[in-house]
Amino acid sequence: MDYALQVLSIDLSARTARQAGLDAEISRRYLGGRGIAAYFLSRSPTMAALDPEAPLIFATGALTGSRIPAAGRMVIAGFSPLTDTFCSCSVGGSLARELKRAGIDAMVITGRSERELMLKIEDGVVTFEESNYGTDAGLEEIFSGSKGFKGAVAAVGRAAFQGCLYASIMVDSTFSSGRGGLGRVMAAKNLRALAIKGSSRTYVCDSQAEELSRADIMRLFDAAPAIMGRSGIRNYGTGALVDLIAARRMMPTANFRRTYFEDSLAFSATRIKQSMEPGSYACHGCPIACKKKGHQEIPEYETLSHFGALNENSDLAAIIEANHICNSAGMDTITAAATIACLAEIRGERYTGQALVEKVAQIAEGTDELLPLGSARLATALGKPWTSMSVKALEMPAYDPRGAYGMALAYATSTRGACHLRAYPISHEILRKPVATDRFTFAGKARIIKIAEDLNAVVDSIGACKFAFLGASLEEYAKGFAAVTGLTYDTQDLMRIGDSIYTLERWINTQRGFSVKDECLPERFFTEAGSSGAGIEIKPIDRSAFDEALQRYYRIRACGPDGAPTRERLEELSL
């Protein structure tokens, strides 16, 4: 069967739009989502992130719009102004569904509008509408102004237009394409918002096989404690991780100087549920419903932990308000919280409660010169670059690598910088799924990380949610993929595609100047111990063991000692 993605190319400078089918071989090779985004970005791998001609890509997954559970996500991708790496973000909400219903699999946006612009797409018809929000507009104003529109809306807030390098793109007001600053890329194109509505149905090759796959996956979800259990993410949201990570003595505290925060119960999921009784909601077609909301949006685990423990703050109301400001201004909560914690260490101060909220507001309002630049640039400007807890200038999320060595390696090898979602070794090192591994060793981790990276490249390319794989596996999703697309790819076929996608991303980064020198952790993790206690000893990471694991990973990944894919491997993959 022909599997040819429909690509809408938009030139904002000329205000033109053209839709065409992509070559079937390329469509099959990269699937959609993150894979096809990597393909488009590889065609101009050295372009500056904020160059008007640098592509900003919105790409749905192969399963988007189908009845396969937890497959309503899409990818937004570009070059990161914060890290200069290849950057892609998986995002939920209804945008993926509406784009697919409009008959579009991927949208490639280039150029820059002379005036602030809103793009409207209805069933493939594109209109360019000038908007007059101004640089100070909050996202509440933009989304409330779009309430009459029956489709999905993605927008950037004032942080993006004021130059924040970690500005996010918000979808349906609460779903965030957060990491890496793609909101800043969108603002550099003078594009304020996208409003998309479609009415067509997603074509499914074999609806009976689709239903069998759906039922199979749902049975596995129901049997997975991490998803549907009493302490699972359906019941508590991702905040369920607060107690678990704290108990494992690996909760980043005081800018990663400690790994245990005595007051973490103040922002635990149990405390939130008891005090706020939040409701649940979900991305389109997802039975997990991990998102929680009370009178305000309940922060995700990373935000709870970083505005909490990382900043030595036990004020839940301040954490929720900081999250609200970030969402309203449109900026990544992980980088915002980590940059404030970095500044606190440099100045020998603590920003808690109202002081923390005021710092977040300074970023949102553009009244601070350094905080909007991220911790790496801030720390360098203040003469203490070692205080930035980042890899490739992307701040680490809320898992201290001294407490999970697979996570240490995953931070280093991630193609977008310190990220827990390129690989997620927390699943086996902490959640013990699918197979438990010793978290205090690098033995076997190089291969585990490589496999996880390949898997997640596939997950992001078919439009699925990573939480789904705490219950189901790629075997079940491969059957769903075959039912929807008609392509009879089995698990190993998809994993080979994942390998080629990840290799392509690494190649893009090598073209942008990245090498082994950039794939290391901050020195703190090799020289300072964490917060031992409760029978758990958190030691510094052995530098020689880390370096050995990294080189082993390179060999497994078919890269040279400098981290670049070998010429032979590139030729094998026809890159």
- Segment 141-164, tens digit of pLDDT: 788 766 667 889 999 999 999 999
What would the mean pLDDT of 299-310 be, rounded to a whole number?
Answer: 97
Say how far apart CA 427 and CA 433 lie, in whole Å.
5
pTM over 0.85: yes
* pLDDT averaged over every residue in the chain: 94
281 band by pLDDT with thresholds 50, 70 and 90: confident
User: What's the CA angle centered on 549, arms 501 and 526, to 5 degrees?
Assistant: 115
267 phi, psi to nearest 5 deg: -125, 25
Report pLDDT digits (tens) over 13-55: 999 999 999 999 999 999 999 999 999 999 999 999 999 999 9
- In this structure, the dihedral spanned by the alpha carbons of residues 568, 570, 572 and 575, taken in order and rounded to 10 degrees, is -150
Q: Which residue has the higher pLDDT, 463 or 131?
A: 463
* Cβ atoms within 10 Å of 471's Cβ, excluding its own: 25
How far is 438 from 200, CA to CA, in rounded Å? 49
Amino acid identity, position 74: M
Give the start-to-end residue ranges of the domains of the chain.
6-197
For residue 480, the model assigns a pLDDT of 96
CATH number of 6-197: 3.60.9.10
Q: Give me the percent of the chain exceeding a pLDDT of 90.
A: 85
User: Which tokens in the block code for residue 542?
Assistant: 């052995």
The answer to whether 184 and 163 are in contact (CB under 8 A) is yes
- pLDDT of residue 508 exceeding 90, the answer is yes
Partners of residue 127 on adjacent β-strands: 120
